[in-house]
Amino acid sequence: MKNLGSVSFSSPFIIISFHLLLLSLHPNHIQGSDTVIQLPRSGSVSARCSLKRVLSVAQYGAEGDGHHNDTKAVEEVWKTACAMSGRITILFPPEKEFLIYPIDMGGPCRSKITLKILGTISAPKDPEVWDGLNPRKWLYFHGLKYLTLEGKGKINGMGQKWWDRSCKTKPSNPCRPAPTVSNHFYKCKNLKVGELTILNSQQMHMAFNNCMRVVASKLAVLAPASSPNTDGIHISRTKGIEVKDSLIRTGDDCISIVRNSSQIKIRNISCGPGHGISIGSLGKNGSWEKVENVMVSESYLYQTDNGVRIKTWQGGDGFASKITFKNIVMENVSNPIIIDQFYCDSPHPCRNQTSAVKVENISFIGIRGTSATEEAIKFACSDDSPCERLYLEDIYLTLGFGGNIRSYCWQAHGYTNGRVYPPHCFPETGNFLSAQKILEELDSYSIYLSKPTL
C-alpha cells in the first residue's frame, strides 16, 4: 500500500480550510437546485396529470403557522400519495412551520414518494402529548421503498423539555423513554435523505433500523453539547448505507453503528462537539451482535469526548471486524483512537465477565491532529478474547496543551507501518508478511465498499 500523503498539522490553515469546506455543504449553502417546485401550466391533459404528481400539505388543510396541529392534513396527503402510482412529491412549502404530532407513515405504497421539505416541521414541545402513545416515536417511516426526504428545510424535535426531565441531565429524575429519533426509518429500502437541517431531537436525531441501500448526504444535524442521548445518526441492523458530506454537532455520538450492520461508508463528516464516531456499543446483556465492513474516511473531529471508537460490553458475543478509520483530522479530541471492551454506561459498576464481542481486523490509517488527553491511543481488550490484527499506519497525534503523550494496550495485538506517534504499545508487531496480508485484505474490502450504494 502506498504511503498516504502527509498532512502538516502545524498550520491551522489546513484545519480551517477543511472545516469551511464541510460547512459549505450545510443545506443553507448548497447551490444548484431550485428552492421551489416548478409546476406545469394547466390546459393540456398531460399538464393536469403532472399537477397531480405534486401534493402540497396546504391543499389538505395544513395551516403552517406553528400553532395549529397539522398532523391530520399530513396523514391525509400521505394516504393519497401512497395509493397513487409512479413518482409523487409531498410538498411542505417554504416559510411555513408545520406542527406535527407523532405520526406513522408506512407502506407498502404503490408510489415512490418524495417529501420535499422547504419549510419547517416541528414537534410538540410538551412531552405529555405522547401520553397513551408510543413514547419512542415521532416521525416514523416504515415498510417503504424508494422514499426520499430532501429540500433545504428543517425538522425540529423541540427537545428541551425532554432533556430537562432526563435522568442523565438530573440523576434524581426517573429514567423514562423518549422519542428515540426525530426521523425513524424501519425496514426501508432504496432510501435517500439529503439537504436538510435536523435539530434538537428529543433523543437520537435520525435512525436507520433494518434498512437496505441508504444514502444520507448534505445534512446539518444540530443540538447543544449538553443535550443527553442526542446521537446524530444511528445505524442498526442495516446493510449498504452511505453517510457523507454532513455537519453533525450533538450531545452524543455523531454517528453510532450497532447490531448486525454491514457495508457502511462514512465520508466527509465534520463532527463535534459530541462523542465522536462509534462502533457500538455491542454485546449488552449478553447479546450476540456483529458489525463488519465499515469505512470511515476523510473526516474532521473537533472537541469531541472521543475520536474514533469501538465499544463493547463484557459478557457479550459476536464480532466487530473489517473496520477502517482513514484520513481523519482531529482537533482537541479526547481519546482520539480507542477500543474499549469494558464499556459500562450504567449508574452501577458492571460485573466482570469472561465472554466478549471479538474485535479484529481493525485499521487506523492517516489519523493526525491534537489530543485533549495524554492517552491518545487506547486499546483496552478482553482477557479471554483479545483484540487481534489491529493495524496502525501514518499516525501523528500530539498533546494540544503540550507535554507527553502515550499509548495504552491491554490484550491488544497488531502491526504498524510507517510513522506512528505516540509510539505503539503492541507487545509484538509481527513480521512483514503478516502486515502485508492485512494490507491485502484491507484493499480487497475497500474495493468492495467503493461500489455504489444505490
Torsion sign, CA atoms 183, 74, 30, 194: positive
How many Cβ atoms sit within 10 Å of the Cβ of residue 447?
A: 9
Q: What spatial distance separates the first Cα and last Cα of the chain, rounded to whole Å?
A: 28
How many Cβ atoms sit within 10 Å of the Cβ of residue 37?
A: 15
User: Where are the alpha helices (H) located in 42-128, listed in sequence order?
Assistant: 45-51, 71-83
> DSSP string spanning 120-163?
EEE--S-GGGGTTS-TT-SEEEES-BS-EEESS-EEE---HHHH
Cell 466478549 belongs to residue = 356
Catalytic residue among 252, 253, 305, 340: 252
Looking from the CA of 144 toward its CB, the CA atoms found within 13 Å total 27
- Contact in structure between 397 and 373 (CB atoms under 8 Å): no
Catalytic residue among 234, 275, 413, 424: 275
| Phi, psi values for residue 164, rounded to 5° | -60, -30
> What dihedral angle (degrees, nearest 10) is formed by the CA atoms of 56, 100, 249, 243?
-50
- Contact in structure between 249 and 198 (CB atoms under 8 Å): no
- Contact in structure between 328 and 306 (CB atoms under 8 Å): no
Cα(134)–Cα(179) distance, integer angstroms = 8
30 three-state secondary structure: coil
275 part of the active site: yes
Residues listed for the chain: 454
379 three-state secondary structure: strand
> DSSP string spanning 213-241?
EEEEES-EEE--TT-TT--SEEEES-EEE
252 part of the active site: yes
58 three-state secondary structure: helix
In this structure, are strands 54-56 and 189-194 parallel, antiparallel, or unpaired? unpaired
Cis? peptide before 347, omega within 30° of 0 = no
Cα(203)–Cα(200) distance, integer angstroms = 8
How many Cβ atoms sit within 10 Å of the Cβ of residue 23?
A: 13
Nearest to 144 by CA among 173, 109, 179: 109
The residues assigned a catalytic role are: 252, 275
